[in-house]
A and B are shown apart, each in its own frame.
Chain A
Amino acid sequence: MKVLSQVQITPSSVILNGKSISASSINGIYREFIGDYPKFFKMDSLCKLGFVAAELLLKNIPIEEKENAAIILFNRNGSLVTDRNYQKTISKEDYFPSPALFVYTLANIVTGEIAIRHKIYGESSFYVLPNPEESTMNEVVRNTFLTSSPSFILTGWVDYDNDEDYLADIKLVTK
């Protein structure tokens, strides 16, 4: 597999293709590099993280090259942060289940948000792993080419635990 570009976002740094970027927070990256996508503010934290990370890698790629791309992401928490927030809306005492939260209680929604933004009609898949094992992730991504021919694959680890603990470590790869 050939790596075309990569980005790593943590609460303390944003590194794009080996170079540090000044924008610090997830919202900061949105304001600096996107700014005109109000749906961003409706997303849960996992989606926001994956969305801005994907933007940094995909924004300069022509739309026609993205149509047949694939998105394959992994994490440990799944959508657990939003699961907890949704659970709070269905307590016995204060029972008003929120549809806007419920829709984000699926980890793969982040792949959908990225697909919508970049008009990616290829595969979108989400896997949950106990740890960010590089070998397992690379194996899954490499094997994707055995049954499909995406133009490239946006892949990597996108995990959100809380404001002080999150990591997006994603890359674009070709066969």
Chain B
Amino acid sequence: MITKIADNIISPLGTTTDENISAIIAGESMLERQENAFDLQEPFCASLLNRETLSQIFDKEVGQNSSLTFFEKLCVLSAKRAIEECNLSPREENVLFILSTTKGNVENLEKSLTDDRCFLSNSASKVARFFGNHNTPLVVSNACISGVCAQIAAVRELLSGKYRYAVIIGCDVLSKFIVSGFQSFKALSPEQCKPYDIDRVGLNLGEAVGTIILKAGNPSKDTYWQYVACAIHNDANHISGPSRTGEGTYRVLNDILNEVSVEEIGFVNVHGTSTAYNDEMESIAIHRANLDAVPVNGLKGYYGHTLGAAGIIETILSMKAIDKGLILATKGFEHIGTTHPVNISNQIRKTDKTVFIKILSGFGGTNAGIAYRKGGNK
């Protein structure tokens, strides 16, 4: 059995998982209009971390460390908090570190095109070495689905028996590089995003880091979150446009539905970026998978799209929501704006179900999903 034994989220809404889930239940968001951020002329709406405050927290909690970039400090801080929660000994040989990121330290290219901190594996190695771990860390770089793919990679490593614990860190920080790219794609909404809404015009970007620690073996607590099923599929259609038939996501849902029954699913936590095509694509896939009646929700209205962190933090928040018997509200949603209506709401709903599915889609035509079940004594 593979169970989750610890987690952490650091976002503009808080530096612990509890702070984050409380803020979301209260309907908070730090998505704000940014003027001149990252030296960009065109304003945009994003949820940004306070670098100064977080660096101070890092110095106090971890100690001053000039060899780590801000991105790497976030990864270390989040992983440290999760590791301490479960008293894991991170230097042991049976612990594997996995990093989910799309662009790592890409902001360093602005100073030097040959900065070797831009190699993603350098960041991952630094983080693993920080904790005294000497296994080669895996870097999953699968665009926006990386956070779910990193969990899937962890599940496989644990199932193989080679490792007993996987520390999965998802993180991206924003930069001129990333924001200008999304602007050139005309993908950004000038206001707070509206997932699945008729008036949605684009996505918001956000910064966050999240850590999940998975363990192979018997659960260490009476109640636990257990991995159930996963899948990754390509649309085989276009490198940036979502499939018009929802092919990849449909196949992901279909694979997962071979392992879980519709009756036990509390909700599907969607990607819900609030672009016209993504949300439409997902609604088609959900419809094709006969999940129209199952509640769905999306969390981009609280954090924006946090890229490599999205799959991690949205999984953690889905677990915490079911722990409280809740389906989190889809902030920003008002009137259904997809061809196939889905069961979505901007209000917090109740559930007594124990399974959720987390899905993501991204550039490269990739789609991924993972399902977890809450087990043990309720």
* Interface positions of A (Cβ within 8 A of B): 71, 76-78, 80, 83-84, 86-88, 90, 92, 95, 97-99, 102-103, 105-109, 111-113, 115-116, 118-130, 133, 136, 139-140, 142-144, 146-148
Contact = CB atoms under 8 A, between A and B. Distances in A.
A133 B229 CA distance: 29
B139 A128 contact: yes
18 contacts: A77-B119, A78-B119, A80-B119, A103-B185, A103-B363, A106-B141, A109-B239, A109-B364, A116-B238, A121-B234, A124-B232, A124-B364, A125-B153, A126-B141, A127-B141, A129-B136, A142-B160, A147-B230
A143 B136 CA distance: 16
Contacts of B120: 78, 128
Contacts of A118: 236
Nearest to B185: A99
Contact of B365 (A92, A97, A116, A129): A116
User: Which residue of A113, A121, A133, A142 has the most chain B CB atoms within 10 A of its CB atom?
Assistant: A121
A125 B145 CA distance: 10
B16 interface: no
B138 A99 contact: no
B156 A92 contact: no
B364 A92 contact: no
B149 interface: yes
Contact of B184 (A78, A102, A124): A102
A98 B185 CA distance: 9
A148 B231 contact: yes
A146 B176 contact: no
Contact of A139 (B162, B184, B238): B162
Nearest to B248: A121
Contacts of A142: 160
Contacts of A103: 185, 239-240, 363
Contacts of B162: 139
A1 to B, nearest CB: 13
Contacts of A71: 234
Given A116-B236, A125-B149, A127-B138, A106 B143 contact: yes
A71 to B, nearest CB: 7
Contacts of A130: 119, 121-122, 125, 136
A100 B122 CA distance: 27
A77 B138 CA distance: 14
Nearest to B366: A124
A61 B156 CA distance: 28
B5 to A, nearest CB: 20
B365 A124 contact: yes
B247 interface: yes
B160 A108 contact: no
Contacts of B102: 106
B142 A112 contact: no
Given A111-B364, A130-B125, A139-B160, A121 B233 contact: yes
B177 A107 contact: no
A36 B232 CA distance: 30
B285 interface: no
A97 B187 CA distance: 14
Interface stretch (B106-114, B287-295, B346-354): B106-114
A126 B176 contact: no
A115 B236 contact: yes
Contact of A143 (B157, B255, B365): B157
B135 to A, nearest CB: 9
B39 interface: yes
Contacts of A112: 234, 239, 363-366
Closest 8 CB pairs of A and B: A112-B364, A102-B181, A143-B156, A128-B139, A115-B234, A123-B232, A97-B184, A97-B180
Given A107-B141, A112-B364, A130-B122, 9 more contacts: A83-B177, A84-B109, A97-B180, A98-B184, A108-B141, A112-B239, A121-B233, A140-B153, A147-B155
